[in-house]
Amino acid sequence: MLRYPARFQPFEEGGFVVTFRDIPEAITQGDTIDEAVIMAADALATAMDFYFEDQRPVPPPSAVEDGEELVALSESMSDKVLAFNEALTNT
């Protein structure tokens, strides 16, 4: 299963903004940390569609850095990403 590092930053007005340095298209927010975690997983999965549609390879996850948490793609989406990247390298 692919796990991408995410930064959960408290927002001035409340809640949390979530960004992924490997997948800049995935940006979301949540009113609570629990909601932000759920939204982060959804944003990450949704961002994969941009890569698929544009026929761009999906960047592999980097090592987690201080202040980041890992967010996992589902097993089926991870498999799809790996197969997609493999197909792109074989064309």
CATH at residue 85:
3.30.160.250
pLDDT at 73: 97
Residue 1's pLDDT is 94
- The alpha carbon torsion through 20, 88, 42, 77 (nearest 10 deg) reads -130
Assign 91 a pLDDT band (cuts: 50, 70, 90). confident
**Tens of pLDDT, residues 42-77:** 999 999 999 999 999 999 999 999 999 999 999 999
Task: Give the domain range for residue 76.
Answer: 3-89
Sign of the dihedral through C-alpha 81, 85, 86, 91: positive
Mean pLDDT to the nearest integer, 31-35: 97
Distance CA 82, CA 27 (A): 22
Task: Give CA–CA dist 28/6, Å, rounded.
Answer: 11
Q: How high is the mean pLDDT of the chain? A: 97
Orientation angle between helical segments 75-89 and 33-54, nearest 10 degrees: 30
Question: In the 8-state DSSP scheme, what is residue 75?
Answer: H
Tell me the residue type at 51: Y
- Say what the pTM is: 0.93
Domain count, the chain: 1
